[in-house]
Amino acid sequence: MVAEQGGPEDQKPQSDEARSAFVPPAGVGRRTSASEDDRPTSEFAIPASLAAEPQGPGAGSASAPGTGSETIGSAFAPPSTYSAQHSPPAFTPAHGSPMIRLTKEAPWQDRMRTMLRMPVAERPAPETVQKPDGTGPAVPRVLDLTLRIGELLLAGGEGAEDVEAAMFAVTRSYGLDRCEPTVTFTLLSISHQPSLVDDPVTASRTVRRRATDYTRLAAVFRLVDDITTEDVEVSLEEAYRRLAEIRRNRHPYSGWVLTLAAGGLAGAASVLLGGGPLVFLVAAIGAMLGDRLAWLCAGRGLPEFYQFVAAAMPPAALGVALTLTHWSDLQPSAVITGGLFALLPGRALVAGVQDGLTGFYITAAARLLEVMYLFIGIVVGVLLVLYLGLQLGAQLNPEARFIAHDRPVVQILASMALCFAFAILLQQDRSTVLVVALNGGVAWVIYGAMARTGHISPVAATATAAGLVGLFGQLLSRYRYTSSLPFITAAIGPLLPGSATYFGLLAVAQGRVNAGLASLSTAVATALAIAIGVNLGSEISRLFMRVPGAVGGAGRRAAKRTRGF
């Protein structure tokens, strides 16, 4: 039944086929007196006992409830309460959608990490920071810019999680929704799906070379920070121009400065282990000879494995030469160990363990495999020289452990000098070198107070000191809106297991394999303690830094443990 609107003449006449199922056929009389319960009704009709308020623009012309009349409408018309500007979400999880507002009060690393750790269906729509020219963003150019930025970050040694966060921040700032970046050890890819019915657009880029330059890394972070800031307008052309300038910029330190820094690092490490001024000089000469020999191998196109073999031989050769010439007062073991400090791949080790702890297992496995190859190269170079020295009659004493409790001031200064030289080797910005040296000095004070004064396990003391390095480095990076690696990597230099590595290699060269493996196991445990401590310190700093705008505990999600299945 329909309501009368404008008289019966305004209604559309029904054809012969349009009949109601409740109309009696021809020849059957219609009952004229029936009770209210016998009347046929529709199962969609509103019961008379329920009062319905009229809604919509045609509510005024609708008949009152209880009269049995209905308004003519289309089944495909949207409800009167629907608004395109305030449409309801297409999917609501069982636990509710968290309220996430991309406020600019927190660094972009924390905001983008929050977005990445959320399911795709729960991520809020992107708030376009950089307004594109025309009708929409140039999708291929935005994806290409994102991959180029990710390539520089990954080649500079940044962790996989931070690389994905940077790529995600760039795409969201230029208005691309439903983007998924993927980072592995040598391959970056990103996929963008315009809508649920459109084909996704995928682009990838391969990282061919990796070069340590933390100045370039900090410049890329500044670029990403400007892109994600509303107060700074960075068009695609401007971003490409700045990225090209970052690529073209020369390193802040020349090759000879890096060679001198390698010598200073080795000399400071030898003093840290109990050596004097002459030991400092000899260790520095050995490290500089090894560095120039490695540069020569690199210029001839030899792989990095052979470069480490060549760089490890001169310091070991000088230590053996001091023993053969009976200059045992110069502590040949300190000379060799100082050269090892300049070669141990602490940067790659920290990055590999960090990737593993954050869930990037493929990248972590590749980084740790790289660390293993580089470490084996150091082992081969040192063992060749030690074995040759033993054949020549060199009396290397494996019991000459480094004990120097009475020089805390000298050791603190030596640790700061080591971190200063390490920061130059990493091509850090000049404004961060002194801060890193101070951070490394604090780390050595903590280690010395726990391991030498408190007689606590050296591995536990190393992990605690590394945790403070990671904590301070993460706080400094948040203060300066840049990467945390320039404030962490060089500061762990005094904690590297150079002495345990040397004595393990010496024991293996002398045929005492069990003792050598035990010492090398201690070196591996110390290295893992450094990496885990650095990561734990960084996580503790993030734990107490609440992301503004994250409501309902959605600030930073992580994977739940699997409980064994």
Indicate the pTM of the whole model. 0.72
CA distance 536 to 465: 11
Q: What pLDDT is attached to residue 188?
A: 92
Angle at CA of residue 401, ends 398 and 405, nearest 5°: 170
pLDDT digits over 21-40, tens only?
Answer: 555 555 555 555 444 445 55
Q: What pLDDT is attached to residue 4?
A: 44
pLDDT band at residue 110, thresholds of 50, 70 and 90?
Answer: low
Task: Check whether 275 has a pLDDT greater than 60.
Answer: yes
Q: What pLDDT is attached to residue 531?
A: 84
Would you give the DSSP letter of residue 28?
S
Task: Check whether 157 has a pLDDT greater than 90.
Answer: no
Task: Check whether 561 has a pLDDT greater than 50.
Answer: no
Of all residues in the chain, the percent with pLDDT exceeding 90 is: 14
Q: What pLDDT is attached to residue 39?
A: 54
Task: Check whether 560 has a pLDDT greater than 70.
Answer: no
478 contact partners, CB below 8 Å, separation of at least 6? 107, 541, 545
Most confident of 183-192, 386-395, 546-555: 183-192
Q: What pLDDT is attached to residue 552?
A: 41
Give mean pLDDT, residues 342-366.
83
Q: What is the residue extent of each domain of the chain?
A: 1-74, 108-248, 255-397+409-543
Q: What pLDDT is attached to residue 419?
A: 92
Task: Check whether 12 has a pLDDT greater than 70.
Answer: no
Q: What pLDDT is attached to residue 108?
A: 64
Cβ 396 vs Cβ 320: under 8 Å: yes
CA distance 141 to 518: 54
pLDDT digits over 218-246, tens only?
Answer: 899 889 888 888 787 888 889 999 999 99
Would you give the DSSP letter of residue 122?
G
The residue written with tokens 């074995």 in the block is 387
Task: Check whether 417 has a pLDDT greater than 90.
Answer: yes
Give mean pLDDT, residues 134-162.
85
Cβ 163 vs Cβ 210: under 8 Å: no
Give mean pLDDT, residues 464-482.
83
Give mean pLDDT, residues 469-489.
82
Q: What pLDDT is attached to residue 261?
A: 92
Q: What pLDDT is attached to residue 150?
A: 92
pLDDT digits over 210-220, tens only?
Answer: 878 888 888 99
Q: Give the N- to C-terminal CA distance of the chain in Å, as an integer.
A: 61
Alpha-carbon distances, residue 357 vs 351, 354, 453, 492, 536 (angstroms): 10, 5, 32, 19, 9
Sheet architecture: strand order including 201-206: 179-183, 187-192, 201-206
CA distance 153 to 173: 18
CA distance 205 to 285: 41
Q: What pLDDT is attached to residue 48?
A: 56
Q: What pLDDT is attached to residue 190?
A: 92
